[in-house]
Structure 1
């Protein structure tokens, strides 16, 4: 679990829970929702990804990989959204989102792990392959390659600039369909991914539905997933953590707006 040590005075002095996040980041969504489901008080720090604030020195002192979200708990940074979920569940066990049944608990861990393992290969590749835009400016890439320890991320962001190959986008779609077929089968027998109660598995996956559905991924072959996502969307924490932070533009405008934002960032952001 990436619970990090820091000697940055500005981080060490932070008291309570502080979340560094972005409104449209699906990884940020899952952490915000768990914080709100548990009724925890937390301080919000929005990181402007369009202005590349996550590449600033001050943010790398919080998260050395420059990713959102990052949690700081009384001066202790915790990174990687799935690990933050487990960290919060362990430190604040009530209400519980861990099944008591060992088999269901194992299933929960498998679903959370899967969300992490396919994040770049499937989710990010599909999203940015569909948008056709870049995640970084070319002028930032030399510095980014130098400071980013995760070279898979460096390679991915370079691909968004050069154009993600169509075969990689097709492979991402095939992988997503395979995962969603498994999810559909699971949800045809259970209310939630790990069983009959909501668990960390659902927090890890429902933001994927939010993001993918807004950019046009076809979920019509998966009625049980749609019903599951609809149930979760009615929870108050879903509204405060996700709905209230989403742009109000209609879905059909989402893709062109994201494409234009990416184009503008590459050419004109200073």
Structure 2
């Protein structure tokens, strides 16, 4: 499990649950949704990716890979959404989100892992397809190269967004996933053992992120019904929802940062 013993005395002294992340993230949403489902009293700390706060101290002492989200619980740091879900389920067992059968529990954890690990292939890729690449400075790329090779590879592959062919490949990949999930949910309320579990919490964040990015889900009625079922739960609230930011505004924000980095790079060369 991605647990860090904090060197910073100020962070190590924090008591209770402290959450670090951003609102516009499927990885963050699955963690906030579970905390709300469990009725936890948690404090939120924003991490601004546009300012690369995720690649700077003190955040990198909490999440060495620079990924969001992360939590600190009674002075112990946990990063990566899969590990956070697992940690919270173990530390706060009063409200369980596990299937009844042991065999289904193993299936659930496999499903949760797949949902969390698919972030780059589906959600991050679709964001780049419809909005454009999130610009990275050369120091940021160097940081990723040293500390997070997977994100370094992704950012260097799409420095200015995707080609039309690459966009179509991403859409086809996501459409195939949606069809698989739709078939899996036919005749079922939930994914594993027909009981609301961590598998649903892990996957719903991915599809709600796609929905915010205007991915057309209308051809998948069982998937849409499952999403509506979860959105009707009290835990799906202002603390957990992914904000519906207009795509044009996100494109403008990324264009401004990309222009700034190019001007800065030209001035320094």
TM-score relative to the length of structure 1: 0.89
Q: Which secondary structure state, in structure 2, belongs to the residue aligned with residue 161 of structure 1? A: coil
Match of 2:63 in 1: 63
Q: In the alignment, does 2:266 pair up with 1:266?
A: no
Are 1:19 and 1:45, in contact at CA under 8 Å, matched by a contact in 2? Answer: yes
1:179–1:4 distance in 2 versus 1, CA, 3 Å: same
| Distance apart, 1:231 and its partner CA | 1.1
Alignment partner, residue 13 of structure 2 = 13
Cα gap change, 1:2/1:17 in structure 2, threshold over 3 Å: closer, same or farther? same
Which residue pairs with 1:209 in the alignment? 207
Aligned to 2:227: 229
Q: Which residue of 2 aligns with 1:32?
A: 32
* Structure 1 range deviating more: 50-59 or 260-269: 260-269
Shift of 1:139: 4.2
Measure, in 1, the Cα distance between the counterparts of 2:142 and 2:45: 24
Give the corresponding residue for 1:104: 104
Q: How many Å separate the matches in 2 of 1:145 and 1:231?
A: 38
Count matched residues.
Answer: 262
Q: CA RMSD in A?
A: 2.0
| Contact persistence 2:22–2:47 (CA under 8 A) | yes
2: CA distance, partners of 1:105 / 1:189:
20
Could you say which residue in structure 2 is the equivalent of 1:137? 136
Are 1:69 and 1:79, in contact at CA under 8 Å, matched by a contact in 2?
Answer: yes
Determine if contact 1:123/1:172 at 8 Å carries over to the other structure: no
Long gaps (5+) in structure 1: none
Aligned to 1:43: 43
Does structure 1 retain, via aligned residues, the 8 Å contact 2:144–2:151?
A: no
For the residues of structure 2 that align with 1:87 and 1:31, how far apart are their CA atoms?
Answer: 11
Aligned partners of 1:130, 1:194: CA distance in 2, in Å? 32
Give the structure-2-normalised TM-score.
Answer: 0.90
* Deviation of the 1:20 alpha carbon: 0.3
Give CA-to-partner distance per residue, 1:105-156, whole Å, 9 cap, x none: 2331222121123211222112112212x3233344344245x422110121
Correspondence for 1:81: 81
Query: For 2:182 and 2:103, how far apart are their aligned partners in 1?
Result: 19
> Is 1:246 the equivalent of 2:233?
no
Mapped pair 1:125 → 2:117: no
Report the Cα distance in structure 2 between the residues aligned to 1:192 and 1:41, rounded to whole angstroms.
Answer: 27
CA contact (8 A) 2:55 2:140 kept: no
- Secondary structure of 2:20 counterpart: strand
- Would the aligned equivalents of 1:136 and 1:161 in 2 still touch at CA under 8 Å? yes
Moved more, 42-51 or 153-162: 153-162
Task: Check the 8 A contact 1:31/1:81 in 2, yes or no.
Answer: yes
